[in-house]
Chain A
Amino acid sequence: MLRTLAVTGVLALLCACSVTPTASSAPPSELVVFAAASLKDTYSALGRTFEAGHPGVKVRFSFDGSSILEEQLAQGAPADVFAAADRATMDKALAASLVVKPVLFATNTLTLIVPKGNPAGVTGLDASLHGKKLVVCAAGVPCGSATAKLAGLLGVTLAPVSEETKVTDVRAKVETGQADAGVVYVTDAKAAGSTVDTIPIRDADRVRNDYLLGPVAGSRHSDLANAFVAWVTGPEGRTTLAAAGFVTP
């Protein structure tokens, strides 16, 4: 008898474990937004104002690399809105019918940052970088392909000591003084504040990184999802994005 009880108990526990996560019956007023890591600050702020403007609505975010989020959506992750930091990722999501009608809501350009006071005396993407520790994004990620494109336009060959997977890792290495210079987005330079000095790169505006967002196909809160997209592309969103250094269309 005891044995049967124990077996039943274990089975019941297992059932409970396997059922709970899949049956995440979110309250109808909860909006899940998958957004690129570089949008963390602006989207968190926009989420708060959106909640204030829509009583009873709770916005939850998952911030990560755009392609990682796209992969999660492809695997069936429950989200209502997807915001990607590059067009290629959004095109991939669109081709797989994961999102509906994505729209361009911001662009970002590259800039050079150096530790406060510029101890290595870097003057730009030029000969002053010779022998200095330059950190950039790897070519396989959006900020890295943008960096390669810009270097090509300028006709310079970069010799980085490290090619990071995340632009925030580039920023961190400059902020801590491990690196003498780093190529990051204008928004990252702004977010780093007074820990770094910014050196604008000539012709940087010729390589723009596009940010797109759209409601996730099959979202159970498509009205709310559309409302959030409108919030980001509307005056409220444009003001917040511009303050962080993004260029809004």
Chain B
Amino acid sequence: MIRPPLPRWLAVPAVVATAFLAVPLLAMVVRVPWSWFLALLTTTSAVDAFWLSLRTCTASTLLCLVLGLPLAMVLARSHGRLATVGRVLATLPMVLPPVVAGLALLVALGRRAWLGSRLSLLGVDLAFTTGAVVVAQTFVAMPYLVVAVEGALRVAQDDFDVVAATLGASPTTVLWRVTLPLTAPAIASGAALAFARALGEFGATLTFAGSLQGTTRTLPLEVYLIRESDTDAALALSVVLVAVAVVLVAVTAALGRSWGTRR
């Protein structure tokens, strides 16, 4: 099928939109003092922030997979009002302002909160710990995984799972041997998006976890802090965050393409 061509004038707003999105990032790359870029990045606080971000984002992405995958599979098979409510809840953190997410976590899991105070009695004190950072990141990142995987499962037209079931495979076998391998590209791209979102998490961490070098001060919090005293260093770290984001989005896009060609 050959689609009719787009009207040519559409190119104008499209170019403007591209420039609108690209110019601020390019301006940042231009402003960075490249001659001492490395020196700015290798301060202990920057290095600590980098490793902390890497550790917490890996942990929260794994949590997203462990908890989000089952949720996505259940949602993809569910209909009716309850499923709609579940779907709304699963996507809500995506659109919440980060500070609101932080406040919500605080009133639920804070030391004075109902759940938080009970957790403390059990010896689990989240306040100002790296665990609190992981909780905040998982809260805001999980929707990205759930939405990506649920979407892929819904549009999947293959009947391999039906065939497997008629051949006598148990539901668990079908899940491990058929459904999960077929959904792998969507799971991977959803995980990459979740990782990217966790990496950018700022408001909830700041409100809920605090900011201490090596413990809770992730890359975005480090940028926020050093911006007060050293704009150059803040820009250098920001460029690193942009670079990581570019890689993650590229990976997601590549996975999307391979998914597309396989089908």
**Which residues on A are within 8 Å of B, measured CB to CB?**
3, 6-7, 10-11, 14, 65, 67-68, 71, 133, 135, 138, 140-141, 160-165, 169, 172-173, 176-179
Contacts and interface: CB of A to CB of B under 8 A. Distances in A.
B225 interface: yes
A118 B146 CA distance: 43
A135, A140, A172 pick with most chain B CB within 10 angstroms: A140
Given A138-B211, A140-B229, 17 more contacts: A3-B9, A67-B227, A67-B228, A68-B227, A68-B228, A71-B231, A138-B225, A162-B128, A162-B211, A162-B216, A163-B211, A163-B212, A163-B213, A176-B112, A177-B110, A178-B110, A178-B111
Q: Is the interface of B mostly helix, strand, loop or mixed?
A: loop
Interface in B218-254: 221, 224-231
A191 to B, nearest CB: 19
A137 B228 CA distance: 12
B107 to A, nearest CB: 8
Interface in B93-130: 106, 110-112, 127-128
Contacts of A14: 16
B9 A10 contact: yes
Contact of A133 (B16, B127, B225): B127
Contacts of A163: 211-213, 217, 225
8 contacts: A3-B7, A10-B12, A65-B228, A133-B128, A140-B225, A162-B211, A162-B212, A163-B211
Contact of B228 (A141, A176, A179): A141
Contacts of B8: 3
Given A173-B210, A177-B112, A165 B12 contact: no
B206 interface: yes
A151 B218 CA distance: 26
Nearest to A170: B210
A138 B225 CA distance: 8
B223 to A, nearest CB: 10
A163 B222 CA distance: 11
B211 A177 contact: no
B206 A169 contact: yes
B13 interface: yes
Nearest to A165: B225
Nearest to B208: A178
Given A138-B211, A163-B212, A169-B206, A11 B228 contact: no
B128 A10 contact: no
Q: Report the 5 A-B pairs with minimum CB-CB distance, sorted nearest first.
A: A162-B210, A161-B128, A177-B112, A140-B229, A7-B9
A165 B226 CA distance: 9
Contacts of A177: 110-112
A189 B8 CA distance: 62
A3 B30 CA distance: 37
A165 B128 contact: no
A16 to B, nearest CB: 13
A76 B227 CA distance: 18
A141 B16 contact: no
B212 A141 contact: no
A189 B97 CA distance: 28
Nearest to B215: A161
A6 B10 CA distance: 9
Interface in B12-33: 12-13, 16
A160 B230 CA distance: 23
Given A68-B228, A140-B226, A177-B111, A7 B212 contact: no
Contacts of A135: 128, 210
A10 B15 CA distance: 12
A178 B110 CA distance: 6
A65 B209 CA distance: 21
A135 to B, nearest CB: 7
